[in-house]
Amino acid sequence: MKSGRSSMKETNTNACQIRPATKNDLDQLCEFAGEFLPKMQWNATSDTARRVFDRILTVPEEGILLVAQHKIGVCGYVYAAYKMRAEFGGRTMDIVELFVERAWRNKGIALSLLSALIENARRSKISRISVQVHSGNAAIERVLESAGFDPERRTIWGFMV
């Protein structure tokens, strides 16, 4: 199976470069995750994020991790996991986290990260991309809509083990 990282080209947008994450990015990504995850009221921490991010970088067949980098450093990231789904005809991508540093919001960074994921999905023959959004998060809903996503209006049920 082809790695998402090896076929991922770098793109420049709004003074930011969208590129595959590397192990050198882990500290910054974990700092962002430490800010992002508690706001979502998840039990995850920056340490659990580090384990997941490290796994994705080590086993790219499980997902993809992209960063937005400006001249000073990384300003955002998106992480998606791959699944095989019969109902969608094969391999799918679930966007798990999308984060843009506060100073870089409303500058097109989130849309650029999503566009890079979509481009990668097309090259990798992904049949479907999905994302769950917390209700009331109008900002991400606008970004998703401008990227071409449609709301499915399904109820998500979960069970923590």
Nearest-angstrom CA–CA distance, 2 and 60: 9
Using the predicted structure, report yes or no on whether residue 119 has a pLDDT greater than 90: yes
Residue 133 lies in a domain: yes
pTM for this predicted structure: 0.84
154 domain residue, yes or no: no
pLDDT tens-place string over residues 41-100: 677 778 888 999 999 999 999 999 999 999 989 999 999 999 999 999 999 999 999 999
Angle between helices 109-123 and 138-146 (to 10 degrees): 50
Is position 157 within any domain?
Answer: no
The C-alpha atoms of residue 12 and residue 66 are separated, in whole angstroms, by 13
Number of domains in the chain: 1
Q: What is the pLDDT of residue 14?
A: 52
Q: Is residue 109 part of a domain?
A: yes
Q: What is the per-residue pLDDT for 41?
A: 63
Classify residue 159: in a domain, yes or no.
no
In a domain, 160, yes or no: no
Q: What is the CATH number of the domain that holds 35?
A: 3.40.630.30
Q: To the nearest whole number, what is the mean pLDDT of the chain?
A: 86
Count of beta carbons in the 10 Å neighbourhood of residue 78: 25
* Least confident interval from 26-30, 36-40, 44-48, 114-118: 36-40
State which residues form the domain around 122.
Answer: 21-146
Question: Does residue 156 form part of some domain?
Answer: no
Does residue 84 belong to any structural domain of this protein?
yes
